[in-house]
Amino acid sequence: MADVLSCPFCDFTSSDSYFLILHVEELHTDDSPFKVTEPSEPPTSALSQTKKEQPRNRDDSPFGTDEWVLCPEKDCDEQVYLSELNEHLDLHLAAGLTEPEHSSSTKRDKMFTPIASEHSFHSGLSDRHRHGKMRPRADSQKSTLARSILDIFCPVSRQKGGPKRSKEHSDDYGARLGKAELGPYAYEDQMPNWLYEQLKAGGKKTTLNRIGRDGRLIKHEIIENETPGVLPMLAQLCALEKSVKHAYLCHPATLQIGKTRREGSFCGYRNLQMLVSYIQGAKAQGHDRFTAGTPNILKLQDMVEDAWDKGISEIAREQTGGIRGTRKYIGTPEVEAVLRSLEIDHGIQMFTDRDDSQAHEQLLADIEGYFRSGVSDDTPETKIYKTCLPPIYLQQPGHSLTIVGFEKHHDGSRNLLVFDPQFNPTPGMMMILGRRGLRTPRPELLHVYRRGHRHLSKRRDFEMIKLTAHPPLFPVWDV
């Protein structure tokens, strides 16, 4: 059994020396590169009216003694919980993989282990960034939602087992939330001006010319962080995996939307953009509410604030202090408010650990039922089910994802297929994008899209938003 190490400055303990070093760096070292700091000078911008400066309290984290740390990877700028850093860095490695055109399957098998087997993914991290294999969490150590839709509908009474706010924080601000719920920039009045301008401009655009089947020149506009055509590739990759018994995919018009350089954490907005991409591409309910192109983050902030102006979930404005022009985290309450204001049919579901079942088991069972409801030829012989169903917004503690599919394996294991806005398609995925008739399994390309027991079981709570209007049924997969 590993020795328990103690922090020399406080009561923090850990059996992992790297966790202890990061704790000391982040909490007890003034010039640490991992420490979350505010901008040295307020940016000059008329993004919002000046608000009264709030004290920078360190709030309770939903992970107990866990703290925010800055991802050490270049240009990431994500603030992640210390206990999640190992998994985050592993996904960075997977997201940066390239695959030579003629690499042998033997070489790939030596380098990678499919996540379906629940083995630890081989990461070539340096000694500085590696901190050992994650140990299973006890139930008391599971992460829980720092902020729930219950904060809107039942602000006084939270779910049993939910995070507690500090007495000092509650007495001073009442319903005002802090870093535990809104992230490291919970008290920010306005984001740095350079970031505001970057988000306003959106992802870098380039034009690609190609010759159509009829011989005419076709111009395609490509946006650096918005990638179409990923779902058809996932369908092919799942079909080639021998371990996969059944796989279900959502509507292929859904774009994979990731982050732009140095933007940090805007996952709630990016996942909302992916829901909108389905609505636009499938011409689903509400598509007429959006102009051409994906609304940028600043536009989505306006849409949230407009919903509050209409009296929809308006308590969230008091809880957040307003989000326009800031880097405050949003979640289920804000996404739900936008959908309500646009009169787009949707439903909310919550999953939490119970005596008879764990939250992740309930989630996986529900998602399997959801996708099975979208197929008409549900036969044992069918391996890949291509549906017209909408993607799903999933809020988990500290981060949100877009569910785009579901896999069931021959050994009985199950996992979600997701678009994670922290990452754009890997170089290996970009190399095969648009191809048909793939013949070689590529499990390493699927790794970054899979979330199974190992990932989900560390979380006590989940919230989910499903679009419930009847999906379009024209044959989009054949286009």
Secondary structure (DSSP) of 165-181: PPHHHHHHHTT---HHH
- pLDDT above 90: residue 449: yes
Please tell me what DSSP assigns to residue 326. S
Q: Report the C-alpha gap between 200 and 221 in whole angstroms.
A: 18
Q: Report the C-alpha gap between 178 and 186 in whole angstroms.
A: 5
- pLDDT above 90: residue 10: no
Q: What does pTM read for this prediction?
A: 0.74
Which range (24-28, 33-37, 120-124) has the least confidence?
Answer: 120-124
- pLDDT above 70: residue 58: no
Which range (128-132, 173-177, 345-349, 430-434) has the least confidence?
Answer: 128-132
pLDDT value of position 203: 83
Confidence of residue 451 (pLDDT cuts 50, 70, 90): very high
Q: Report the C-alpha gap between 358 and 164 in whole angstroms.
A: 22
Mean of pLDDT values over 257-267: 90
pLDDT value of position 66: 52
- pLDDT above 50: residue 36: no
Q: How far is CA 196 from CA 200, 260, 330, in A?
A: 6, 12, 17
- pLDDT above 70: residue 272: yes
- pLDDT above 70: residue 155: no
Question: What's the mean pLDDT when you consider all of the chain?
Answer: 78
302: three-class secondary structure by DSSP: helix
- pLDDT above 80: residue 277: yes
Mean of pLDDT values over 380-389: 91
pLDDT value of position 459: 93
Torsion of CA 318, 332, 195, 185, to 10 degrees: 50
- pLDDT above 70: residue 236: yes
Which range (102-111, 279-288, 353-362) has the least confidence?
Answer: 102-111
Q: Are 319 and 151 in contact (CB under 8 A)?
A: yes
The tokens describing 178, both together, are 């802090």
Q: Report the C-alpha gap between 250 and 16 in whole angstroms.
A: 40
Q: Match domain 193-467 to its CATH number in 3.30.230.10, 3.40.50.360, 3.90.70.130, 3.60.20.10.
A: 3.90.70.130
pLDDT value of position 112: 37
Task: Return the exposure string of 118-149: e unless at least 16 CB atoms fall within 10 Å of the residue's CB, then b.
Answer: eeebebeeeeebebeebeeeeeeebbbbbbbb
Mean of pLDDT values over 186-202: 94
pLDDT value of position 69: 73
Which range (107-111, 151-155, 158-162, 317-321) has the least confidence?
Answer: 107-111
- pLDDT above 70: residue 158: no
Beta strand 414-419 with 399-409: parallel, antiparallel or unpaired?
antiparallel
- pLDDT above 80: residue 118: no
149: three-class secondary structure by DSSP: coil
Q: H helices of 226-325, where?
A: 230-240, 267-281, 297-309, 315-320
